[in-house]
Amino acid sequence: MTRRQPQGYHEAMTAKYIREPERRLPVRGEYEVVVLGGGPAGIAAAASAAGAGRKTLLLERYGFLGGMGTAAGVTNFCGLHANVHGDIRQVVHGVADELLARIDRLGGLNAPHPVFGKTYAQAYDTAAYKCAADDLLLGKGVDILFHALGAGVVMEPDDTIRALVVETKSGRAAVLGRMFIDCSGDGDLAAWAGAPFEHGDGAGSMLYPTMMFRLNGIDPAAAGEAWKVIPELMEAAERRGMRFPRKGAIVRPQKNPMEWRVNVTQMRRPDGSALDGTDADELSAGEIEGRRQALAFFDFLKREAPGFGNSYIVDIPPQIGIRETRRISGRYQLSGEDVLSCASFPDTIGVNGWPLEKHVAGDVEWQWPPIPQSRGFNHLPYRMLLPQDVRNLLVAGRCASMTHEGQSAARVSGACFAMGQAAGTAAHVALAGNTGLADIAVDALQDRLQADGAYLGRDVE
């Protein structure tokens, strides 16, 4: 008996391309607001759109929410706080507060800890984050479709998106929407829809990715404040000829003091530039290299760091952490200078209190606004969520409209929550007023955000 070769088999052996037969896609549903991606921006966007009464769908390629915060094992919120003239205070509220309260109720939220004595960050457990985010979105009435990989769009002739095409275990399907919010981190939806974007620093590189990992079995008493000692141990080891992927290791305890997170690896291409998180082959190589580097650094910690002798790797997360890929070129690009000068904008929708944190080759470079002379945060203008050339799309999170430098700051969770909440609310305001996203009354958006607990940073100079 001869087996039939699958259609296209012979062509695939020789040709560079094969033609995929046209097919009709089942429509999975029709929504007022469709959010692609369930990281901090997507969670906040879906929560605010549904909270305003909009029929909202969130699509996520994994089986859980949290984005890099869970899928890449980040386990730490930055940018929730700012150093306001010497007073470190929380400056991102609204949906972020609702999520933090749920993580805390599950026992998964650390107290905020100081960062260089200038601001705070706040660690959390991934399991608690995932469960808290489910609870938040279901409570708001969001439809969630997990294991759904966004794969393309169907456009109308007038530059509006008609449908998002999605791959699922039940097959390929279309989701119709009136408003779309790209929270994919990589600007996937914006790129498919034809919105202009930039990729990395314009010279072929990006902020370098990191494979996070967590250790358990640490002796907290012996470890003490080991995060202060580990950089010195690394320098001593380098003098003996050891090499590390980068300086600026972040090795800190989680809620359970026996468990610590490690942020030190760095994934490069063969030419030394940053690995590209939108390239399938590079991603694949990066996962393997990330795990190799994690094992090597664990070996060093176990041997040399106080209290780490009996530790073991409890988690290497589902994916390498991608800091930067596409950033849309929207109506306004938030710049590094905006961050350092604590810029104000009339269309503020929230604030960023995190400094420039540049993951360059082999190191992390920090640049802060003047502390305590400045208010320590910049406004995030609504225009940075508005892409060019696509009418019913907003882009929030690390792929919003920022320069390479500006993104090194406002990509962290705090600003992503703020942008996401603003995007979900703006979609609602546009639908309510039957206007385009670029034409909404910004003061109506700001009033609604404030009524929902967001902080817009207009009370401090």
Ligand X SMILES: Cc1cc2nc3c(=O)[nH]c(=O)nc-3n(C[C@H](O)[C@H](O)[C@H](O)COP(=O)(O)OP(=O)(O)OC[C@H]3O[C@@H](n4cnc5c(N)ncnc54)[C@H](O)[C@@H]3O)c2cc1C
Interacting residues with ligand X (CB under 6 A): 36-42, 59-62, 67-69, 71-72, 74, 76-79, 149-150, 183-186, 188, 210, 212, 263, 321-323, 397-398, 411-413, 416
- Between the alpha carbon of residue 141 and those of residues 55, 105, 137, 239, 339, the distances in Å are 8, 21, 6, 57, 35
Tokens of 39: 């990281």
* Residue 347 parent element (H or E): none
Q: Smallest distance, Å, CB 317 to ligand X? A: 9
Shortest reach from residue 110's CB to ligand X, in Å: 12
Nearer to ligand X, 184 or 311 (CB): 184
What is the distance between the alpha carbons of residues 392 and 153, in angstroms, rounded to a whole number? Answer: 12
Hey, CA dihedral for 396, 398, 401, 402, is it positive or negative? positive
Residue closer to ligand X (CB basis): 285 or 346: 285
Strand partners, 411: none
* For ligand X, the closer CB: 64 or 300: 64
Q: Helix, strand, coil % (nearest 5) of the chain? A: 30, 25, 45
Which residues fall within 8 angstroms of residue 157, CB to CB, at 6 or more apart?
none
The CB-of-150 to ligand X minimum distance in angstroms stands at 3
Closer CB to ligand X, residue 134 or residue 186?
Answer: 186
CB of 391 to ligand X, least distance (A): 21
| Rounded CA separation 388/390 (Å) | 6
Output the smallest distance, CB 13 to ligand X, in A: 29
Rounded CA gap, 32 and 175, in Å? Answer: 11
Q: What is the DSSP string of 392-424?
A: TEEE-STTSSB-HHHHHHHTSHHHHHHHHHHHH
- Regarding beta strands 197-199 and 171-182, do their DSSP bridges make them parallel or antiparallel, or are they unpaired? unpaired
Q: Which is nearer to ligand X, 77 or 332 (CB)?
A: 77
Q: Which two tokens stand for residue 121?
A: 């960050």
Find the shortest distance in angstroms from Cβ 452 to ligand X.
Answer: 19
Nearer to ligand X, 126 or 374 (CB): 126
Residues recorded for the chain: 461
In the complex with ligand X, which residue's Cβ is closer, 78 or 301?
78
Residue type for 253, please? Answer: P
User: Toward ligand X, which CB reaches closer, 41 or 422?
Assistant: 41
Q: Per DSSP, what are the bridge partners of residue 165? A: 152, 174
Q: How far is the CB of 417 from ligand X (least distance, A)?
A: 9
Measured from the CB of residue 400, what is the shortest distance to ligand X in angstroms? 8
Q: Which residues contact 17 (CB under 8 A, 6 or more apart)?
A: none
